[in-house]
Every structure is written in C-alpha cells, then in structure tokens.
Copies of this chain bind each other. A is one copy, B any other.
Amino acid sequence: MPVDRVIDAAVELVDEVGPAEFSMRLLAKRLRSSTATLYRHFAGKDEILVHVVDHVLGEVPRHLPDMADTSTWQERLVASAEALFRTLKEHPKVVSLFDNHVPLGPRGLAGREAAIGILLSSGFPPEVAASAYTAVAHYVIGFASQLRADGTTGPEENQDIREFYRSLDPARYPATVTSAPFLPNSLDDEFRFGLQLIVDGLAKQLTGPAGRTHHR
C-alpha cells in the first residue's frame, strides 16, 4: 500500500464528494483495502487531509506562465496569485481544507518562497515582503473559499445573486440595490480587480512610503 497511491485516491475522493462526505471507509473501499490498513500508514483522517492540501499545492506551478526576466514584479506577483487561484478552482472542494492551518508542507513552502523572492529581488524590504505575501495569500484563500463547492462556477451563479440583490427593498438597502446591476459577471473579474488593488497599494509602498511607516 504505497503512500502516494493513498494520497492520489484521497484527492480524487475529496474532489468528487467533498470533505464532508469524505470518509476513511469510502477511501478504503476505493483502494480495495480496509480502514485499519489506512491507519497503519497514517495517524488518521486529518493527517491524510493535510497531504491532500499539499498535493493540490503541487499543481500550482503548472498554472504559472514562464516569465521573461523583463517581467515587472507586479506581473509576476499577479501571475503567482492567479496560478494559485486557478489551481483552487480546479479543486473547489479542497479549499475549505486550507482553514485553520498555514500550509507548511514542501509545496506550500515553495509557493511562499517564490512569492517572497519576487518581492525581495524587486527592492522591497523583508518586513514588507513577508506581510505582503500574507496579505495576498489570505486574499486568494478568502476568494477561493467562496467558490461554489458544488461545481457551479458559471456566470448563472453570479446572475442569481445579482437578481437577489436587485430584488431587495431599495428603502432598506439603497446602496446594495444601486450597485447590484454592476456586479461583475464572473468571479474571475472580481478576483483580478481586488488583486490589482493590493498590487497598486504595494507599488505605493515601494515608490513613496513618505509619511507612511510599516505596521503603525
């Protein structure tokens, strides 16, 4: 019972049925084995799910374009964040497993290293680079956690929400009703917009932090 075979099957199973329905029994059945055998290789369900997270993070590089040395740090940081976002979109049911623990497996560390490396080599001081990475990472996770776990990422989903907001009482929710028709069609557009806000904010840190110090 090779460890990798278990992890591969576990990722498949979470992708199919979600973390709530994922069970040691289902995993054992898929492997044509028994639950007790799984416990010979892993401490328990939680440990297997940590491996699932790290396995998924291993797919991030596949979504990275190869960037010429001429790319700006903005382009490279955005590409990193989008690669993670695209990866999570392919495994929407895995996203909730990112809750409550910083991914410290080898794949999670590689992503952190790459992003902070981009910032350091672009002239950001280390304290800014570290906090900027955290901000971007949490933004991506927060956004990805709103991916419909049932796979309906399509535009009809956003249209339903827009219709709901439009149908509210304008006297009670004036701003919500006013802005509802302008909601973007796709989650991707909303994702890129917010990501650009963060990058723009970072650019300001680099060019003119005059009068603005890091961390109060």
Contact = CB atoms under 8 A, between A and B. Distances in A.
B131 A190 contact: yes
A184 interface: yes
Contact of A95 (B99, B102, B178, B199): B99
Given A95-B99, A142-B142, 10 more contacts: A101-B146, A112-B176, A113-B172, A130-B182, A130-B183, A131-B193, A132-B197, A138-B142, A142-B145, A201-B201
Contacts of A112: 173, 176
Nearest to A147: B100
Contacts of A172: 113
B102 A145 contact: no
Contact of A194 (B135, B145, B147, B190): B135
Contacts of A198: 194, 197-198, 201
B135 A190 contact: yes
Interface string A130-153: 111111111111110111110000
Interface string A112-130: 1100110110000111011
A201 B205 contact: no
Interface of A: 95-96, 98-102, 104, 109, 112-113, 116-117, 119-120, 125-127, 129-143, 145-149, 161, 164, 168, 172-176, 178-184, 189-190, 192-194, 196-202, 204-205, 214-216
Nearest to A119: B175
Nearest to A198: B197
B193 A113 contact: no
A10 to B, nearest CB: 18
Nearest to A106: B172
A180 B102 CA distance: 14
A36 to B, nearest CB: 23
Nearest to A149: B100
A168 to B, nearest CB: 7
Contacts of A98: 145
